[in-house]
Structure 1
Amino acid sequence: MEHPTVFQMLIKERRLQDYHRFRQAYEAAARELAETQGPASLRSCTIGRRQFVRWAHGDMRGVPRSDARRVLERMFLLTAEQLFSRAGTGPADTGAELLSADAAHCETTGRSDLVPEDVVMAAAHESARFAAEAERSNIGPHTMEQLDADIRRIVGTYPNRPVGPLFMEVRELRNRAFELLEGQQPPQYTKDLYLAAGILCGVLANASFDMGRYAAAETQARAGFLCAELAGHNGLRAWIRGLQALVAYWDGRPRDAVRLAASGRDFQPESGTAHIRLASIEARAYGQLNSPGDALAALRTADTLREQAVGEDIPGGMMAFPRAKQLFYASSTHLWLGGSQQLNEAEARAEEAVELYESDPLERRRLGELSLARMDLALARLGRGDLDGTAGTVHTVLGMAARRPTESVTKRLEQFGRQLAVHPVASSPTAANLQEAIASHTGRERAALPPGSVR
């Protein structure tokens, strides 16, 4: 076209000519508008293929109005009139001038939030892919450095990011690692690639577990363990055995959880906290089996291992087992064992865990784990008859779970609801209101789960 619209030039420049890619960026901008300016209805705003084609072909009668206008102006930082004007048809706006102004505005304001996150990450992935190809071999130092950086970013941000979008990003990165392994790489990179692929399978296993897809989680874990074997990495072997034990525990198979945790002890990790995690999972499973001697012994083992721990977890983030998590696993163990003394221990450990989690910066706070620690605290308070303290804690969890839902938190809320229903205070107005809030949340989350398994 002799005189394309500025919109046509911009989508070409930003590689948004594909309808699906454009719609993804458009919907992200709409969600951002809903959160920052409102109204909330913008969260569901999207663009149909036919409308996009008309825009992309310059087949316009007037300019977009209402919500579409606002979203487009958010995406491109230009007015709708500027976007759909013809480049080179008048002295006031020559497409190049508008493109330069757009770039200059982003550069001078210094605001990274002006571009939706998925577009920014897509651009980063494109650059990383180009750099990998520029090495003119299947793999080289830059590719491994980029893969390692991506993995560290993912495991570092996993605990407070929505699980669904992260799953898709990790899946793409894992596929990239598999593709590299299928090629001809220098021998020194093979183990590193297997380790990277094993970690990514482990993250996918954890995400599948968080979405309640236990069978898919176990399949991912088995693939991750095989990669750990091929990489010869004991830390990853032990961590994945812990994940398998955790799935068994939540699936109501405590004996399998004990067996898998014990199996993980066969692998002495290079550094980090994998064995502390194994002992803590074993303690909870023994608690579920009502075996107090074994459960308390496992808790003591975890404490001893904490004193002896050296070095950092690789790659850290969600794969590390911090003191706060150990404390809330201990509180769960005491709750399983029951009795007034164990309730007091459970409440003390849960309170300490919540305090430690809340001391983390917001951007690194482990939201799901914090919610589970609070559920332990709520159960301990309910056990000693503190209904007001219980209700306040559970309502806090409900608010957080609405922002980052996971299967574990939903299941704990359901378990709590069943216990509250048979408690002597069940008929009180406070308990009735709490039951209603729990039922509303868990019903909503169950309805939102997609059918089938996440592969």
Structure 2
Amino acid sequence: MAPTGPTLFQTMINQRGWQDYQVFKRRYEQAAKQLAELEGPPSISTATIEKRQFFRYAHGEVRTPQTVARRVLEFMFPGIPAARLLQPAQPLPDASPPHPTAGQRDAVEPSEYGLEDVVIAAADESARFAAKAESSNVGPHTLEQLEADIRRIVVSYPNRPVGPLVREVRSLRDRAFELLEGRQPPRYTCDLYVGAGVLCGVLANASFDLGRYDAAETQARTAFLLGELAGHNGLRSWVRGLQALIAYWGGRPADAVRLAEAGGAFTPESGTAQIRLESIKARAYGQLNRQSDALAALSTADRLRERLADGDELPGGMMAFPVEKQLFYASSTHLWLAGTQHLSDAEARADEAVEMFQAAPPEQQRLGEMSLARTDLAMARLGRGDIDGAATQIHAVLGVSARRRTESVDRRIGQFSRQLALHPGAGSPAAIGLREVIMAHQERTPAQLPPGGSQ
């Protein structure tokens, strides 16, 4: 076979430091086990790569890998078809001009990788080079880049589909873990623990949004451990709140109260984590029909909001607890408590929350939380007989859910549908039409973890 230059496979394993056969073999076998667990079949978990095959891939002696190898390679190098990995990293001199024009690059690169993948890959390569240029495995630039990546993820999370985000977060978490395995000054180790803990927290939240409560609890336990190792109250408090939410949505309100109270032992100097804990506790008390405790928790949350200090120990975004979110937690609490006055309070708070969520720029709207607030508002309006007003909110929720589906929103839609079926006006054309739309939504494929999901 005529020499073709290094394959894209060889270029990429060099960039990642996997050019040694034993190193790559270990990565390959780890990827095979993860792929078997997430997508199956289980037999893939035993897949490995022989030394001769490894070098054949690197030298371009294989055009199309076998099915199992193809799946493992595409899992290891997301977004790049296996066949492309085994082609030359750059076109041959006689195949195209050595320096393609901007128009040619635009015509070729997006069709092979997708423009966003090319941009992200280029930034990732630059960041890795800068990390290697520092004298130790971790330095100020490495931490700055990690913090910037984390901040971008937590800020964009509420507005992006959950499934595709998991792989990106998982990759960044793995990088943080790799850095922790190296040698660095203690002050950097603490920062890495916090960064890795935040990323595990994001994966826990994503697993929860996708209805994988077992995976969510595992990720949350790891996130809390990392918060413990760092001695970071903000992270520990936030994770306890997430664990309480998982218990609440899992139908374990007593556990939700216990976990929220445990989180109260870790008081950060600033931020909204404690307000969130009290609001979660209020909803759990409401589910337990403990009215006085629920209202007391709502009052405590209001008092904490009034004396909230500026700044936060966490990177904001999905980890912050803004006023509008506090309002819809209060609306959920009042819905649990029932009765005319509580129904009125629930509607007022949910309505205000929806208005505040809508006021954000479209690219910054917290879609899942706004959908839950709309569902609370629909439940309250249904409770006072306004089926048309409830339908307006549910149609808006279904529109968002079609592109950003989460398990908690699906569950609330199901609860609304059951309430609608029991309503005195269930036989009206508006009610029948609304239930048919909801049923069509429920028949669609539910939210799922993507390949390489939350582990």
Q: TM-score range by the shorter chain?
A: 0.7 to 0.9
Specify the code of the residue in structure 2 equivalent to 1:424: P
Are the counterparts in 2 of residues 174 and 200 from structure 1 also a CA contact under 8 Å?
A: yes
Q: 1:324, 1:352 within 8 Å by CA — same for their partners in 2?
A: yes
How does 1:87-236 map onto structure 2 within 5 Å? 87-88=93-94, 95-99=97-101, 102=104, 116-236=115-235
- 2:382 aligns with 382
Distance 1:102 1:325, change over 3 A: same
Alpha-carbon contact 2:243-2:259 (below 8 Å) kept: yes
C-alpha change, 1:426 and 1:268, in structure 2 (3 Å) is same
User: Mapping of 1:79-94 within 5 angstroms?
Assistant: 87-88=93-94
Q: Structure 1 residue 399 and structure 2 residue 453: aligned? A: no
Mapped contact 1:272–1:309 kept (Cα < 8 A)? yes
**1:20 maps to 2:22:** no
Q: Deviation of residue 215 (structure 1)?
A: 1.2
> Can you give the 5+ residue segments of structure 2 that lack an aligned partner in the other structure?
14-59, 61-69
Alpha-carbon separation, structure 2, partners of 1:450 and 1:138: 31
Contact map agreement 1:3 1:88 (CA 8 A) in 2: no
CA separation of 1:21 and 1:289: change in aligned 2, threshold 3 A: closer
Describe the shift of the 1:446–1:207 C-alpha distance in structure 2 as closer, same or farther (beyond 3 A): same
Residues 32-91 of structure 1 show CA distances to partners (whole Å, capped at 9, x for unaligned) of xxxxxxxxxxxxxxx7x67x699x48xxxxxxxxxxxxxxxxxxxxxxxxx99x8548xx
Task: Kindly indicate whether the alpha-carbon contact (under 8 Å) linking 1:155 and 1:315 is maintained by their aligned counterparts in 2.
Answer: yes
CA distance in structure 1 between the partners assigned to 2:370 and 2:349 by the alignment: 13
* One-letter amino acid of the counterpart of residue 437, structure 2: A
Runs of 4+ in 1 over 6 A off after TM superposition: 1-4, 8-19, 449-453
Q: Which residue of 2 aligns with 1:41?
A: none
CA shift for structure 1 position 98: 2.9
Structure 1 pair 23–452 and aligned structure 2 pair: CA distance change class (3 A): closer
* Matches of 2:428 and 2:448, distance apart in 1: 30
Decide whether aligned partners of structure 1 residues 104 and 448 sit closer, same or farther in structure 2, where only a CA change above 3 A counts. closer
Map of 2:296 onto structure 1:
297
Distance 1:134 1:179 in 2: 17
Q: Which amino acid in 1 is paired with 2:279?
A: S
Closer, same or farther: CA 141–430 of 1 in aligned 2, 3 Å: same
8 Å contact kept, 1:213–1:454: no
Write the letter of the residue equivalent to 2:146: L
What is the distance in 2 between the residues matched to 1:259 and 1:387? 37
Identify if the C-alpha distance between structure 1 residues 190 and 447 changes in structure 2 by more than 3 Å, giving closer, same or farther.
Answer: closer
Cα distance change on mapping 1:96 and 1:436 into 2, 3 Å: same
Aligned pair in 2 of structure 1 residues 263, 248: CA closer, same or farther (>3 Å)? same
C-alpha separation in 1, matches of 2:449 and 2:235: 30
Q: Given that residues 157 and 364 in structure 1 are in contact (C-alpha distance below 8 angstroms), is that contact kept between their aligned partners in structure 2? A: yes
- 1:264-301 deviation per Cα after TM superposition (whole angstroms, max 9, x unaligned): 11111121000000000000001001111111111111
Could you say if the C-alpha distance between residues 257 and 11 of structure 1 is closer, same or farther in structure 2, counting changes exceeding 3 Å?
A: same
Aligned-partner residue type, residue 192 of structure 2: L
Task: State TM-score, norm by structure 2.
Answer: 0.79
Q: Could you say if the C-alpha distance between residues 9 and 191 of structure 1 is closer, same or farther in structure 2, counting changes exceeding 3 Å?
A: closer
Q: Which amino acid aligns with 1:338?
A: A
Match of 1:34 in 2: none
Give me the identity figure in percent: 61
1:143-182 per-position Cα deviation (integer Å, ceiling 9, x unaligned): 1111111111111101011111211111111111111111
The corresponding residue for 2:439 is 439
Q: Distance in 2 between matches of 1:376 and 1:318?
A: 20
Q: Secondary structure at the match of 1:96?
A: coil
Partners of 1:295 and 1:289 in 2: how far apart?
Answer: 9
Shift of 1:117: 1.7
Q: Distance in 1 between matches of 2:77 and 2:138?
A: 33
Number of equivalenced pairs: 394
**CA–CA distance in structure 2, aligned partners of residues 53 and 183 of structure 1:** 29
Instruction: Between 315-324 and 121-130, report the one with greater CA deviation.
Output: 121-130
Q: Judging changes above 3 Å, is the alpha-carbon distance between structure 1 residues 362 and 239 closer, same or farther for their aligned structure 2 residues? A: same
Question: Does the Cα contact within 8 Å between 2:193 and 2:230 map onto a contact in 1?
Answer: yes
Q: Where does structure 1 lack aligned partners over 5 or more consecutive residues?
A: 27-46, 58-82
Decide whether aligned partners of structure 1 residues 200 and 447 sit closer, same or farther in structure 2, where only a CA change above 3 A counts.
closer
What is the identity, as a one-letter code, of the residue corresponding to 1:330?
A: A
Larger RCO (CA under 8 A, 6+ residues apart): 2
- Aligned counterparts of 2:425 and 2:203: Cα–Cα separation in 1: 41
Judged with a 3 Å threshold, the aligned counterparts in structure 2 of structure 1 residues 146 and 376 are, in CA distance, closer, same or farther, namely: same
Mapping of residues 349-364 of structure 1, within 5 Å:
349-364=349-364
Evaluate the alpha carbon distance shift between residue 3 and residue 103 of structure 1 in structure 2; reply closer, same or farther with a 3 A threshold. farther
Distance change in 2, residues 1:12/1:98 (3 Å) = farther
Q: 1:22 to 1:189 in 2, by over 3 A?
A: closer
Partner of 2:236: 237
Q: CA RMSD in A?
A: 3.3
Q: Distance in 1 between matches of 2:9 and 2:211?
A: 40
**Shift in CA distance, 450/419, structure 1 to aligned 2, threshold 3 Å:** farther
Q: Distance in 1 between matches of 2:450 and 2:315?
A: 31
Counterpart of 1:350, as a letter, is A
Contact 1:410 1:445 in 2 (8 A): no
| Shift, 1:133, TM fit | 1.3
Deviation at 1:140, TM superposition (A): 0.9
**Helix, strand or coil for the counterpart of 1:132?**
helix
Taking the TM superposition and a 5 Å limit, the aligned residue runs for 1:51-90 are: 56=87, 87-88=93-94
Superposition deviation, residue 419 in structure 1:
1.1
CA drift at 1:128: 1.1
User: Is structure 2 residue 329 aligned with structure 1 residue 275?
Assistant: no
Structure-1 residue corresponding to 2:328: 328
Q: CA deviation at 1:406?
A: 0.5
Q: Which residue of 1 aligns with 2:348?
A: 348
SS of equivalent residue, structure 2 residue 142? helix
How far apart are the structure 2 equivalents of 1:200 and 1:23? 20
Mapped partners of 1:402, 1:408: distance in 2 = 14
Residue 387 of structure 1, CA deviation = 0.6
Instruction: Measure the CA separation in 2 of the matches of 1:155 and 1:14.
Output: 31
Superposition deviation, residue 450 in structure 1: 7.9
**Secondary structure of the corresponding residue to residue 403 of structure 1:** coil
> 1:406 is aligned with what amino acid?
T
Residue 395 of structure 1: how far off its partner (Å): 0.8
